Structure 1
Amino acid sequence: MAIRVVQWATGGVGRAAIEGVVRHPDLELVGCWVHSEAKAGQDVGVLAGGEPIGVVATATEAEALAIEADCVVYAPLIPDEAQVARILRAGRDVVTPVGWVYPEPGRHPDLEAACAEGGSTLHGSGIHPGGITERFPLMISSLVSAATHVRAEEFSDIRSYGAPDVIRHIMAFGATPEEALASPMAGLLTGGFGRAVRMVVDEMGFAAAPDLRTTQDVAVATAPIPSPIGDIQPGQVAARRFQWEALVGETPVVTAAVNWLMGEDDLDGGWTLGEGGERFEVEVTGDPSVLLTFQGLQPERWEDGVDRNPGIVATAMHCVNAIPYVHRAEPGIKTYLDLPLIAGRAAPGLAR
């Protein structure tokens, strides 16, 4: 029998997840929760930008939980832990890109209790964090002896991110440097990236201090820069960098970083994406040192990414492909360390 899936929220990740569930041979999309009443009653396939599939969206949590389902792909912009607990208590597994990649032990007793009561499983996934930051560094670290430093870093043209309200009001692009540095963005990101760094520290056995060193930098435009939120004017923030470091003494041993630029032209201080262009890098320094570069997770042109961003799609697929493994797992909060290797599936027409 196919695993019955409800999609929770239809932003960029949610729409991509709908496509992935429909194509996955082991899954069946049976429902969808939407935040907007305007989307309620609409066919979910149409909401995802495709053809009708005969599944209708609801904006009511009670109606969504009443659907006979096995798993929820939980992908709202901001997670609601109490809501996730209700989903788990209803006996639905939850796979999500918005948190719980490596929860701090004892920090989420209600979620643990909800899993036990519902016989359900919670798994945090994604890309960065949720894959690039911890899963792939741990994977390639098995090729290395005497590791001294692990780095996971993103280099992206953020204009391709199709969420203008987030870019302006949360990421604080287009703000003054003072406003951007005082924004809650570093704190919001640290919840995910900090725990991802801690997973690598713990699993590889680094004697790192419990507190991370968190830094952020900004660059401003020197001329108007076209963007999804309108032109970034001279003096307004057009590039941001965040970095999280686990330290042994004063020596960084695990680093996660993001470099988000509004292109490479007209940035103060000569900020660029580097010779490699847009990419994700995973590097483990040791004997031997290994560098892994991910390409294809950013669009060739930023305008293309506004409608369909490969990184957003990959985030959704990392969740969707995890569903069968999560569904077979024992109840509880499960990380990558608790699950077997997760793989995708062959395309329709090529599968056995």
Structure 2
Amino acid sequence: MTYRVIQWATGGLGRAAIEHIGRHPDLALVGCWVHSEEKAGKDVGEIVGSEPLGVTATSSIEEILALDADCVLYAPLMPSSDEVAAILRSGKNVVTPLGWFWPSDKERASIEAPALEGGVTLHGTGIDPGGVTEQQPLFFAGLSSAVTFVRGEEFSDIRTYDAPDVVRHIMGFGGSPEDARSGPMLRLLSGGFEQSVRMCLDTLGFTDAEIRTSHELAVATAPIDSPAGVIEPGQVAAQRFAWEAFVGETKVVRVAVNWFMGEENLDPAWELGPLRERFEVEVKGDPDCDVVIHGWHPASIEAGLQRNPGIVATAAHCVNSIPTVCEAPAGLVTFVDLPLVTGRAHPDLARAT
């Protein structure tokens, strides 16, 4: 069966998703929503830099809702629960990297109603959150017993993230420490990463846990060149956000991101360490498990600005889940509700049928 897919937004993740959809044997791109009028009316291939795909982009939500499609891969810069609800009511499944990984009972009830009304399913996934920070700790915990602690953590050079306005004005790099602390980033991140922590707590069976959040900063001690502009001395040049769960005073879950504008000229003198950019997954139990993931970071800043593997991996996780989500019961489904989600063979190597 071929599932008809609409891509919502064509930023870095959306462009990667369109590539993945085109190579997936069970998926076909049938629509694309774009934010700018400049992109509207163009063939999607022209937007993503490929050959024509025979699909015309639109900036009309009404046109998207009217399309005959099985699923929308919803990936704008910022999510709108009203938009997602409207898509669900139109009878289209939704896969998104922007939330709903492990919603609270209140959040679940509010978004399940339109899903049930449309007879379709909503699934939140990705890699961080949506993978490294809950799915993979839980997977590796399956190889242990008597688990006492799990961790998922990112270590990245943020200069490879090709969104300069987001890096400066939302993430707070290049601003004052005071502005970064009072800015929106901690609140925006907590919406997803606290769900990661709760998924680990609930699935592993930790009870009466308290989630504590921290936000640490390092500033530049000399000018630092970055794609988002020069970071001047005294301005924010590295940040660490962490969400930790405690049962009493015993730490049982840690989810964290460590973001750097390089490693030189920082105060405090933070370093990526000998393992460099990476993702880490840790389980303490019988036996312990330590996993370091390379490959989801680019080889250089320049390469990352062209095509960031972390964004490509996030898009792949979303795309690969679409067939399973389309077959799932109506409502909201999480990672722990679904069977195995995996990739498919390259078209050149797939068995002929």
Normalised by the length of structure 2, the TM-score is: 0.98
Counterpart in the other structure of 1:339: 338
Measure how far apart 1:3 and its partner are: 0.3
Contact between 1:155 and 1:258, CA under 8 Å: does it hold in 2?
A: yes
Deviation at 1:49, TM superposition (A): 2.2
For 1:302, the aligned partner's letter is I
The letter for the 2-side match of 1:169 is: H
State the Cα distance separating 1:265 from its structure 2 match: 1.1
TM alignment of 1:92-131, pairs within 5 A: 92-131=92-131
Q: Which residue of 1 aligns with 2:296?
A: 297
Post-superposition CA distance 1:142-184 (Å, at most 9, x none): 1112111111110000000111111000000000111111111
Aligned residues: 351
Q: Specify the code of the residue in structure 2 equivalent to 1:25.
A: P
Cα drift, residue 107 of structure 1: 2.1
Question: How do 1:300-311 residues align onto structure 2 when only pairs under 5 Å count?
Answer: 300-311=299-310
- Matched residues in 2 for 1:86 and 1:344: separation? 29
Q: Map Cα deviations across residues 286-343 of structure 1 (whole Å, 9 max, x no partner).
A: 2211011110000010121112100000000000000000011010100011100101
Structure-2 residue corresponding to 1:277: 276
What is the rounded CA distance, in whole Å, between the counterparts of 1:264 and 1:49 in structure 2? 34
CA distance in 1, matches of 2:178, 2:111: 37
Q: Within 5 Å, give how 1:179-328 maps onto structure 2.
A: 179-209=179-209, 211-328=210-327
**1:10 aligned partner:** 10
Q: 2:315 and 2:193 mapped to 1: Cα distance? A: 18
Deviations 1:177-229 (CA, angstroms, capped at 9, x unpaired)? 111111111111001000111000000011242x4100010001111111011
The 8 Å contact of residues 108 and 332 in structure 2, kept in 1 or not, is answered as no
2:34 is the counterpart of 1:34: yes
Amino acid at match of 2:243: W
Distance 2:37 2:109 in 1: 32
Other structure's SS at 2:349 match? coil
Cα gap change, 1:28/1:110 in structure 2, threshold over 3 Å: closer, same or farther? Answer: same
Query: Which residue in the other structure is 2:147 paired with?
Result: 147
RMSD: 0.9
What SS is found at the alignment partner of 1:212?
strand
Distance 1:158 1:178 in 2: 20
Indicate conservation of the 8 Å contact 1:147/1:284, yes or no: yes
Other structure's SS at 1:172 match: coil
Could you list the runs of 5+ residues in structure 2 that have no partner in the other structure?
none
The code of the aligned residue for 2:134 comes to E
Sequence identity percentage: 60
Structure 1 CA distance for aligned equivalents of residues 150 and 320 of structure 2: 26
- Render the CA deviation track for 1:96-116: whole Å, top value 9, x for unaligned: 000101111232433211111
Partner deviation per Cα, 1:37-68 (whole Å, 9 max, x = no partner): 11100111121122211110000000111111
AA paired with 2:294?
Q
Structure 1 position 251, deviation (Å)? 1.7
Give the equivalent residue in structure 2 for 1:159.
Answer: 159
Gaps of 5+ in 1: none
Residue range with higher mean Cα deviation, 55-64 or 107-116: 107-116
Tell me the amino acid that sits aligned with residue 276 of structure 1: L
Q: What SS is found at the alignment partner of 1:126?
A: coil
Q: Scaled by the length of structure 1, what TM-score is found?
A: 0.98
Letter in 2 for 1:77: L
How many Å separate the matches in 1 of 2:204 and 2:348?
A: 41
1:346 is matched by which residue type in structure 2?
Answer: A
- Work out whether residues 244 and 253 of structure 2, in 8 Å CA contact, stay in contact via their aligned partners in 1: yes
Other structure's SS at 2:348 match:
coil
Question: Aligned letter for 2:297?
Answer: Q
C-alpha separation in 2, matches of 1:167 and 1:49: 24
For the Cα contact (< 8 Å) 1:13–1:75, is it kept in 2? yes
Q: What corresponds to 2:73 in structure 1?
A: 73
Q: How far apart, in 2, do the equivalents of 1:208 and 1:189 lie?
A: 23
